Structure 1
Amino acid sequence: MDPRAISLVRTSFKAVAAVDGGPDKLTSSFYAFLFARNPEIRELFTATMTGQRERLVTAIAYVVDHLDDLEASLPFLEQLGRDHRKYGIVDRHYAAVGAALILALERFAGTELWTDEVAAAWDDAIAIIAGTMMNAANAETGPAAVGATVIEHVEVLQDVAIIRLQLDEPLKYAAGQYISVQVPSRPRMWRYLSPAIPANDAGQIEFHVRRVSGGWVSPAIVQRTEVGERWVVGSPLGSLGVAGAGGRNMLMVGSGTGLAPLRAQIMEMSARSQNPKVHLFMGGTYPCDLYDFDTMSDIARSNPWLTVVPVSENDTDPWWHDGGPVPALSRQLMPSPVGVLAASFGSWAERDVQIAGSPSMIAGTVDALVAGGTPHENIRHDPLI
């Protein structure tokens, strides 16, 4: 796409998103057009569409932001194409999705903004998106998803559980990627989780899951998962990861269960003889949220390239937590939002930066680091979908 077409796509999308309730109205209209014209597609989705709507807008926004850097966005689209096979998506569905999105955008952009030139620019953008996803999906020869059996379920906090599964066949994923899962109590409600351990020949995978208040899936996972139940695991997504010994030194900032993709990378690195230096800030709202501090500390003690800084926004645990912090943690703890504290250490201009956590934590950490002098192009995190 030429620069003007990219600018038209970005301007029109941002104009629609800026309207009061724009993202919700856009996605509601999109799905209304899609299902009215293609009722058979409705069967591929769950009754509640809230999470799917949010992920749609975020995914579109990510691609729109990267249209002038296809080298960065095409791998993401290829991963999405492979991942969408689990829904039963086939080639004809992409045309239907593109047509519905154009109709929804036109409805909310208005006649002044939605010109023939804007429509043509969006046609080009959707052609790139759909073509890339279709080609990647059609080139894939492996299964769309694999089965897995729960072999361990441990509630480490009132709202956090560690789930370990035995995959029916080993899954190839890079440490730092995330994966969609489907649990038996919530059929067709796929949710993205980051493996907390590297891929292994034994075919085991581990997830750390926090219960989200009002969520559909996470409370079921944390409170109702039973050993022996069957899950379905989709294709890996994301591009977080560290280079080998010759790569740049790293700053990693993780919060709560968002530590998982960073944890998997550090565990993988600990099996290598040489690594870049890694400075890990692991944070939480309360000291008890740093439940995995001992694991990271043990790795740091035997691997001098790793420095671990525990951070908590509060210096005491909430009333409902009865375990208390680990003694070593209570002596080292720094009370602060994790991103703010990381930024206070300097600009980190000479390091590659990875951030993992909630969308608000990631956004706040990016702002703090950039304000402190960290170049924005050094910072990486997954699309917030």
Structure 2
Amino acid sequence: MSNLSRLLKESWTLVEEQQDKLASYFYARMFLDNPQLRDLFPVQMDVQRSRLLGAIVTAIQSVDDPDRFGEYLESLGRDHRKFHVQPEHYDVICRALMDALRTFAGDQWTLEFDQAWRDAYAAIAARMMRGAEADSANPPYWHAEVVHHERRSRDIAVMTVKPMQPLEYRAGQYVSVESRYQPRLWRMYSVANAPRTDGSLDFHVRAVGAGWVSSALVRRVQVGDMVRLGAPMGSMILDRRSTRDVVCVAGGTGLAPIKALIEEMTRANRTRWVHVFFGARDRDDLYDLACLNRLAARYPWLSVVAATTDDPDFPGEHGNVSEIVARYGPWHDHDFFVSGSPVMVRTTLRTLAELQVPAIRIKYDVFSDS
């Protein structure tokens, strides 16, 4: 651990137990310094309150790992163009952050801690601004029309949108989505198809308990509605130079990017076997299994294994999808793609570590609606 990383983590422990109060103070200080910034955030701040501060803290504490986070921060800077973030806004956020940290750490805050956070924040802000500047040829966001909307289960919908302008992305990436029903609330969703000539994008959305955006996209959005899309992000893309066989592990609507990757491979793959493990609570949540089985019947290199945890009569595997993967194999010489809830991804990564799958061969993105 570098000295900078040590200082950041040590100083964060001084305020960690007061995160909620610190976040409230942080936003109040930021909006007092620049009232116009309030218009960039949703009317309801209950969920948002922890999001920005949490993202800043996570990025800052990872600042000494440039290979992992540099590209991500530049992508984040491109994505944040949708908020019309300007370079001077980074200074406002920095002042609010430092003031909040000093206030809640009290006498234990030192000049050494102060300088460490300033240096780390300056580094991530520079990478984000660099990403935004490099993307100036694209719009800050894309307007898209909903051209198809289908409920697949009690709380899952498949939605197709068509952007008004071309949106270039790679299979496996995700974009942020905003609807008119929850203005200024953006949530990340993986694109469920490889790029098409007509430019349309599919999304698989599950309505979750506190997910205002997901509930609107599943239950309120209709064909003809307009949504806005942020810049594509994510590194869960195929390495076209690799000749290794592929294992895809999907939980619930985490199937979306896996399906996009499979679709990309149907256009060119001739030599790589692809094994898909698709897990859910019950057969209703295996909302796209029929389509996967049709693809497997058409392409000999593709196999599909489905599993449920709470459906004893399901005619397939039973148990957590990570457990099912462990029953097959061996997997030492495969490329892995893992997608699902944060809990599912963490569980699968632990299983793959136990199976001695090299971490460098595992790709995943973790985000959630809430």
TM-score, normalising length from structure 1? 0.88
Correspondent of 1:176 among 162, 172, 175: 172
Correspondent of 1:154 among 147, 150, 154: 150
**1:315 corresponds to:** 311
- Aligned partner of 2:318: which letter? P
**CA distance 1:246–1:363, shift in 2 (3 Å):** closer
- Aligned partner of 2:157: which letter? A
1:363-378 alignment, distance < 5 Å? 363-378=346-361
**2:334 corresponds to:** 351
User: Aligned to 1:182, what secondary structure does the other structure show?
Assistant: strand
Q: Does 1:208 align with 2:204?
A: yes
1:58 positional shift: 4.7
**2:112 corresponds to:** 117
User: Aligned to 1:172, what secondary structure does the other structure show?
Assistant: coil
1:382 positional shift: 1.6
Select between 297-306 and 281-290 the one with higher mean Cα deviation: 297-306
**Given that residues 341 and 366 in structure 2 are in contact (C-alpha distance below 8 angstroms), is that contact kept between their aligned partners in structure 1?**
no
CA distance in 2, matches of 1:278, 1:145: 34
Select between 5-14 and 54-63 the one with higher mean Cα deviation: 54-63
Q: Over residues 202-234 of structure 1, what are the superposed CA-to-partner deviations in whole Å (9 max), with x where a residue is unaligned?
A: 111111111112321211111111111111111
Q: Does 1:258 align with 2:254?
A: yes
**Given that residues 29 and 96 in structure 2 are in contact (C-alpha distance below 8 angstroms), is that contact kept between their aligned partners in structure 1?**
yes
CA distance in 2, matches of 1:16, 1:278: 47
1:347 positional shift: 6.7
1:375 positional shift: 4.1
**CA distance 1:59–1:250, shift in 2 (3 Å):** farther
**Given that residues 245 and 275 in structure 1 are in contact (C-alpha distance below 8 angstroms), is that contact kept between their aligned partners in structure 2?**
no
CA RMSD across the alignment: 2.2
**1:327 corresponds to:** none
**CA distance 1:302–1:84, shift in 2 (3 Å):** same
Correspondent of 1:166 among 156, 162, 168: 162
CA distance in 2, matches of 1:307, 1:108: 54
1:212-227 alignment, distance < 5 Å? 212-227=208-223
Select between 242-251 and 255-264 the one with higher mean Cα deviation: 242-251
1:297-316 alignment, distance < 5 Å? 297-316=293-312
Unaligned runs of 5+ in 1: 318-329
**Given that residues 63 and 124 in structure 2 are in contact (C-alpha distance below 8 angstroms), is that contact kept between their aligned partners in structure 1?**
no
1:15 positional shift: 5.5
Correspondent of 1:77 among 73, 76, 79: 73
**2:278 corresponds to:** 282
**2:82 corresponds to:** 86
Correspondent of 2:59 among 60, 63, 84: 63
1:110 positional shift: 4.4
- Aligned partner of 1:48: which letter? Q
CA distance in 2, matches of 1:16, 1:346: 45
User: Aligned to 1:361, what secondary structure does the other structure show?
Assistant: helix
- Aligned partner of 2:48: which letter? Q
TM-score, normalising length from structure 2? 0.91
**Given that residues 59 and 383 in structure 1 are in contact (C-alpha distance below 8 angstroms), is that contact kept between their aligned partners in structure 2?**
no
Q: Does 1:13 align with 2:12?
A: yes
Q: Does 1:193 align with 2:192?
A: no
User: Aligned to 1:236, what secondary structure does the other structure show?
Assistant: coil
**Given that residues 253 and 356 in structure 1 are in contact (C-alpha distance below 8 angstroms), is that contact kept between their aligned partners in structure 2?**
yes
Correspondent of 2:134 among 135, 139, 151: 139
**Given that residues 244 and 274 in structure 1 are in contact (C-alpha distance below 8 angstroms), is that contact kept between their aligned partners in structure 2?**
no
Select between 342-351 and 27-36 the one with higher mean Cα deviation: 342-351
**Given that residues 242 and 265 in structure 1 are in contact (C-alpha distance below 8 angstroms), is that contact kept between their aligned partners in structure 2?**
yes
**CA distance 1:226–1:252, shift in 2 (3 Å):** same
Number of corresponding residues: 367
User: Aligned to 1:232, what secondary structure does the other structure show?
Assistant: strand
- Aligned partner of 2:181: which letter? S
CA distance in 2, matches of 1:284, 1:58: 29
**1:322 corresponds to:** none
- Aligned partner of 1:283: which letter? G
Q: Does 1:42 align with 2:67?
A: no
**Given that residues 347 and 374 in structure 1 are in contact (C-alpha distance below 8 angstroms), is that contact kept between their aligned partners in structure 2?**
no
CA distance in 1, matches of 2:14, 2:194: 41
Q: Over residues 363-384 of structure 1, what are the superposed CA-to-partner deviations in whole Å (9 max), with x where a residue is unaligned?
A: 2222333344334454332243
**CA distance 1:68–1:250, shift in 2 (3 Å):** farther
**Given that residues 246 and 276 in structure 1 are in contact (C-alpha distance below 8 angstroms), is that contact kept between their aligned partners in structure 2?**
no
User: Aligned to 2:264, what secondary structure does the other structure show?
Assistant: helix
Runs of 4+ in 1 over 6 A off after TM superposition: none
